[in-house]
Amino acid sequence: MLTGEIRNQVDRIWDAFWSGGISNPLEVIEQITYLLFLKRLDDLHTLEELKATRLKRTMERRVFSDGKDNRKRPYEDFRWSRFKNFAPAEMFTVISEHVFPFLRTLGGDESTYAHHMKDARFTIPTPALLAKVVDMIDQVPMEDRDTKGDLYEYMLGKIASAGQNGQFRTPRHIIRLMVELTRPQPGDILCDPACGTAGFLVAAGEYLRERHPEILRDAKLREHFHHRLFHGFDFDNTMLRIGSMNMLLHGVENLTRLTVLKKWFEQPGRLTAIALWVAARATSRKGKAGGAAAGLFKEARALLDGLDKFRPELDRKAAESLHDRLREFQNEHQRQKWVSVRVVHNWNLLLVEEALAICIRYANSPVHGYKLAADYCQNYDPSYGTSLNGPSRTKLLEMAQFMFAIEALEDDEE
């Protein structure tokens, strides 16, 4: 539970950033998150040292190596317990020129947050501000899991209470209500397709701890809880870093999966594979289709038949011809206010059209991939709406499993 004193300490940290020239709430949270992560790495390393000393054996897992980096700086200087005592100018040099390059290639910490550090940017502008913030964070009590989680939630509340930067944060009592209604179980797989700061995933984790305490006592359930239960997607890598840290501070330790779909699609070959997978799913759906629609479905199935799911080689000429006829089949538009809106008579044929467009024209356009994923996951139950706010759970999990299969294949090929 947060006391008034802790809240005041957090407010002073926030004020220090603002007076130091960083006024964007997301940037403030991101920089604080980096520093919290550094503090956590030092705590992990210290724990390993104590374990090795107690058992009288060498350390099994070192976060910070014994040697020096390529600029001849000892890795020991990267530890929070060391650099917090440096003079401001030296601390600034160590963190900006040594620690951040180290974090971008970090493999010592297995958390998803470490994975998302690849794009990390250090933007604290002056040594004086850095020293002030490090000193303040060092004084905030972070030993208790509940306190850590509540503290981070308090900071996240400063991001979006007024919808700044396009980020809107669902109030905690609404999140708790939705989780209570969903009633997650220990063996479930949970996915938030627009996770933001991971508030829903955090609340689900807290619900499982309270209602199913056996989840952390049973070895198999504990493994599932920390490694396979939580999945999240978002547009913004900054939000994924913040969401990953939120999960970390709430006690979900390793490999909580949070993915930026656009980033995922940037890897060669993935976008075409997922597009044709969606097209195949669309053509396999049972439904009434007659006349020209039935003929287009038949032709699409013939085009996709026999393709390798993960490394498809499409007949480009046939794909272009089918795409043009699909476009022509649903080419009716209606005027609504100031815009012309396309009329879609067959949603599955539209998915095939979008998928073929990616293969023949937009193979390097992650935006088109995200749109296709969103269109595939739409749920037309009016009680949920027609966007990713209410996706079909089955469709979303099917897509996630296919993405995991592609990654597993890539790992095997390496």
Task: Supply φ then ψ for residue 335, to 5 degrees.
Answer: -85, 120
pLDDT of residue 90: 94
* Assigned architecture for domain 1-141: Up-down Bundle (1.20)
Across 399-413, average pLDDT: 79
Q: What is the pLDDT of residues 129-153, one digit of tens each?
A: 999 889 988 887 766 655 666 777 7
Q: What is the pLDDT of residue 62?
A: 75
Cα(345)–Cα(242) distance, integer angstroms: 41
Domains 1-141 and 170-260 share a fold: no
Judged on CB neighbours under 10 Å (0-12, 13-18, 19+), 154 is: middle
Where would I find the H helices in 261-346? 261-265, 270-284, 291-304, 316-329
Backbone φ and ψ for 39, nearest 5 degrees, come out as -65, -40
Average pLDDT over residues 28-39: 83
| Structure confidence at residue 53 (pLDDT) | 86
pLDDT for residue 246 is more than 90: no
Task: For residue 320, name the pLDDT band (cuts at 50, 70, 90).
Answer: very high
Please give the average per-residue pLDDT across 216-236, as a whole number: 81
What average pLDDT does range 265-289 have in this prediction?
A: 83
For residue 338, what pLDDT is reported? 57
- Note the pLDDT of residue 276: 93
The DSSP output letter for 68 is: B
Mean pLDDT of 306-325: 89
Q: What is the CATH number that goes with domain 170-260?
A: 3.40.50.150
Predicted local distance difference test score (pLDDT) of residue 336: 61
Question: Residue 357 is which amino acid?
Answer: A
Q: What is the mean pLDDT of the chain?
A: 78
More confident residue, 65 or 297: 297
Q: How large a percentage of the chain has pLDDT more than 90?
A: 16
Predicted pLDDT of residue 199 = 82
Q: Which of 100-109, 133-142, 173-182 has the lowest mean pLDDT?
A: 100-109
Q: Which residue has the higher pLDDT, 411 or 18?
A: 18
Instruction: Give the pLDDT band (50/70/90) at residue 263.
Output: low
The pLDDT score that the predictor gives to residue 162 is: 38
Question: Where do the domains of the chain lie?
Answer: 1-141, 170-260, 270-413
Q: What is the pLDDT of residue 16?
A: 85
Q: What pLDDT does 8 receive?
A: 83
Comparing CA positions, the residue from 356, 111, 92, 76 lying closest to residue 252 is 111
What confidence score (pLDDT) does residue 388 get? 41
